[in-house]
Structure 1
Amino acid sequence: MKDWQLKTPVVFLIFNRPDTTEKVFEVIRQAKPPKLLVVADGPRVDRPEDIEKCAAARAVIDRVDWDCQVLTNYSETNLGCQERVASGLDWAFDNAEEAIILEDDCVPHITFFRYCEELLEYYRDDKRIMVISGQNVQFGRKRCDYSYYFSRYNHIWGWASWKRAWEYYDFDMKLWPKLREDGWLKDILTDPHFVKVWTYAFDSVYNGKINTWDHRWTFSCWINSGLTVLPNVNLITNIGAGRDDATHTKKVYAYSSIPAEEMTFPLKHPDFMIRDAIADDFSQDLYYDYKAKFWKRVRIKLQNILKIQDSRYKIQ
């Protein structure tokens, strides 16, 4: 890493948490990107304390002390999660052909940046790949002998992508009603239970019951048969889960506390591009089963505890 220098722009999504913003910023500072694009939402009208907190989070960016072009896209009003992130990434990809993206509570291992940059270059012209993610929720299970594998799930706790992929982002999910009627998800997901889970999720977002941008991104990737690259070790730790000021992660889940590890180089690339169905099934059960019954959640958590006790991981 000593002879390597990051060349890829970094997009930093911030809001009202100066403490977590500072921790992520310190790792960005170590990586020294040549361009830093900062997207910030504005204070909420019904939360007067947001004014000071948002200002403090933005003040962290003033600490840039390396040779860096800093571009800011700060909203003076509160747009909400889905609109602010979506419009912010639209702006970012108007200013960069490819970028590494971090939210204010996703602390990366320093090797995350090189991992993203090398794979952004490696798959730059391969439209089958839409996302490079730094998140791994396999709890130490090595799914292959390579540095990474392929997934349908575009985990967004630390990721990277290209303008050519983000151009497919469909904020309005225009095709969802027709695809829902046609039973399209049955072609994507083989388990009828998860067809129901994702139908519920997409319905909730489409109908405005859930204010989030990431399910819209998942939908956009799936309708374009896009794959995500996932590392064989976890490169991101989320420090925002369980906090009162968390937007969507007010509960602490087992996968929230997986520590970040080092990616080794040179990267070992897979010889073929096939989605890892076993890894996806594991992620599906653990990560996306929003309507799982209580005892199923207990069983999954116990299995993970037993696995973690045989490794360095600890569920907090």
Structure 2
Amino acid sequence: MQNFAPIALFVYNRPEHTRRTIKFLQQNLLAEESRLYIFSDAAKDPNNQKLVDEVREIIRTVDGFKHVELIERKSNLGLANSIIDGVSRLVKDYGKVIVFEDDLISSMYTLQYFNDALNRYQDEEKVMHIGAYMYPLKEENLPETFFYRAATSWGWATWDRAWKNFEPDIDLIISRFDEEKKNQFSIDGTMNFWKQIQEFKSGKNNSWAIRWYASIFLKGGLTLNPSKSLIDNIGHDGTGIHSGMNDIYHVIINPQPIQSFPEKIEENQLVYHSIKNFLKNRKGSLWQRILRFAKEKIKGI
């Protein structure tokens, strides 16, 4: 009998997002055979208490899984510490984990994809992370799945053997980068990953994800990804603590199951360049949207 990975779901103060995330998870083919652990962070201040209480009312009635366990924090850990603690706990107990936050809509085949990939690459030391989200890439004839250097954080999975390499110390991370590595880390300068490292250092963000990607990168690891996304993030509506209003990353979820995985454990250059082109072009499209929005406001549209 297959040993399916446990799911860690991290929630805070968005009841409707949480409800939708759980609804789509319940519709996954492997939901009834999966263990779900819901980590509910405590309110940071009295202003958030009512919403945290609403979220906890929702999660206390969740069914449709093999087992559901709630971890209701007594004090506010913040997203980064909550995820680091929860992932560390589950990989220690199960050797692997699937990770969701409270603003992710999934395909009915997302859990199947994660479990197939976790089983297939469990002994491949170079493969350190499995992502389920992918940018809305335009190119045709891309492989169904591929290896890439960067780690996406909107629905992902890993193993205990890989998570042991997670380096939380930002000073240690920074000390291991030279200028060439900074450029490679930032997808040839098209993504602000190094800026995120600097902002973490200066206290402007508290990202676990940028430290996890840096840990993978410095270890020479790779991440597995689908070319057509199995996840859509619904959190870019201004409600999230760490996200603003932005629809550049919105995708149409792939309705088909993933059936093929790469044999060679190496970064796919075709897809790398496709991603790089998307990241380059997105800067222009964001600026165009800002200008269009400003013109519409002036015209009173």
Q: Does 1:18 align with 2:15?
A: yes
**What is the DSSP-based 3-state SS (H/G/I as helix, E as strand, rest coil) of the residue aligned with 1:184?**
helix
Alignment correspondent of 1:203: 198
Deviates most, 67-76 or 18-27: 67-76
Q: Answer yes or no: is the 8 Å Cα contact 1:173–1:219 preserved in 2.
A: no
Unaligned residue ranges in structure 1 (runs of 5+): 302-316
Change (3 A) 1:51 1:287: farther
Alignment correspondent of 1:92: 90
Query: Aligned partner of 2:44: which letter?
Result: R
Alignment correspondent of 2:44: 44
Q: Does 1:150 align with 2:144?
A: no
**What is the DSSP-based 3-state SS (H/G/I as helix, E as strand, rest coil) of the residue aligned with 2:9?**
strand
Number of equivalenced pairs? 287
**What is the DSSP-based 3-state SS (H/G/I as helix, E as strand, rest coil) of the residue aligned with 2:170?**
coil
Q: Where in structure 2 are the equivalents of 1:285-300 lying within 5 Å?
A: 286-287=278-279, 295=284, 297-298=286-287
Change (3 A) 1:142 1:63: farther
Q: Cα offset for 1:37?
A: 1.2
Deviates most, 126-135 or 94-103: 94-103
Alignment correspondent of 1:263: 256
Alignment correspondent of 2:245: 251
CA offset digits 1:120-176 (Å, max 9, x no partner)? 0000110111111111114343453x4201111211111111111111111113422
What CA distance in whole angstroms lies between the structure 1 residues aligned with 2:69 and 2:240? 25
Alignment correspondent of 2:59: 61
**Which of 176, 180, 191 is the matching residue for 1:179?**
176
Change (3 A) 1:218 1:300: farther
Q: Cα offset for 1:181?
A: 5.3
Q: Answer yes or no: is the 8 Å Cα contact 1:138–1:283 preserved in 2.
A: no
Change (3 A) 1:76 1:96: same
Query: Aligned partner of 1:276: which letter?
Result: N
Query: Aligned partner of 2:247: which letter?
Result: Y
What CA distance in whole angstroms lies between the structure 2 residues aligned with 1:272 and 1:181? 28
What CA distance in whole angstroms lies between the structure 1 residues aligned with 2:277 and 2:47? 38
**What is the DSSP-based 3-state SS (H/G/I as helix, E as strand, rest coil) of the residue aligned with 1:175?**
helix
What CA distance in whole angstroms lies between the structure 2 residues aligned with 1:181 and 1:271? 31
CA RMSD of aligned residues (A): 2.9
**What is the DSSP-based 3-state SS (H/G/I as helix, E as strand, rest coil) of the residue aligned with 2:151?**
coil
TM-score when scaled to structure 1? 0.80
Alignment correspondent of 2:109: 111
Q: Percent identity?
A: 22
Q: Answer yes or no: is the 8 Å Cα contact 2:7–2:99 preserved in 1.
A: yes
Q: Cα offset for 1:106?
A: 0.6
TM-score when scaled to structure 2? 0.84
Unaligned residue ranges in structure 2 (runs of 5+): 291-301
What CA distance in whole angstroms lies between the structure 1 residues aligned with 2:2 and 2:230? 18
